[in-house]
Amino acid sequence: MEGCIVTSPSSPQSVVVMSPCAACRVLRRRCVQKCVLAPYFPPNDPIKFTTAHRVFGASNIIKFLQELPEEQRADAVSSMVYEANARLRDPVYGCAGAICQLQKQVNELQQQLAQAQAQILNMHCQNANLNMALFYMDMSQSSLPSSSNDHSFDNFFDELGFLCDQSLST
Ligand SMILES: [Zn+2]
């Protein structure tokens, strides 16, 4: 028995087709039953192998995989394919370019978040000051005779202005 077993999803009965793995097809070699590449490069996804092959070379991919325990090979292939894609997009920085760009984005967003949190804090202070001012206004209205109401409003607005200035400067 040679090659990879592929079940065709388009046919009603699952037809078993024998075909070489994507790697062996690209390399034009016989796909043996113990092909080290076959589990990770299925024949229905040839681009995955050609991408990794262009950057790392087939012999290096085979060497990397043979040096790793079997349970880590799938992750190694994923990271090689990811790195190869990044390297083709950005031949100078590869993955590092994408990471730098994302770190820059994180820094910018953290700055925006800090600004928004400062604004929220400021608004809470203003709200607290306003509530306090309203409380004082109620107190002065209920304790003073009605003839001095105009005067207490002046005090209220003075006090409100002072409190808001204070909260803005903090
Ligand atoms: Zn193969």
CA–centroid distance, 170 to ligand 1, in Å, is: 68
pLDDT at 7: 46
pLDDT at position 142, please?
82
Q: Annotate the chain with DSSP letters as a single string.
A: --SEEEE-TTSSS--EEEE--HHHHHHT----TT-SSTTTS-TT-HHHHHHHHHHH-HHHHHHHHHHS-HHHHHHHHHHHHHHHHHHHH-TTTHHHHHHHHHHHHHHHHHHHHHHHHHHHHHHHHHHHHHHHHHHHHHHHHHHS-GGGHHHHHHHHHHHHHHHHHHHHH-
Q: How remote is the CA of residue 127 from the centroid of ligand 1, in Å?
A: 70
Predicted pLDDT at 170? 46
Q: Please tell me the distance between residue 22's alpha carbon and the centre of ligand 1 in angstroms.
A: 7
Distance 39 CA to ligand 1 centre (A): 8
State in Å: Cα 21 to ligand 1 middle.
Answer: 4
Ligand 1 centroid vs 27 CA: distance in angstroms?
Answer: 9
Tens digit of pLDDT per residue, the chain (170 long)?
444 454 444 444 444 446 899 999 999 999 999 999 999 999 999 999 999 999 999 999 999 999 999 999 999 999 999 999 999 999 999 999 999 999 999 999 999 999 999 999 999 999 999 999 999 999 988 875 555 455 555 555 565 555 545 555 54
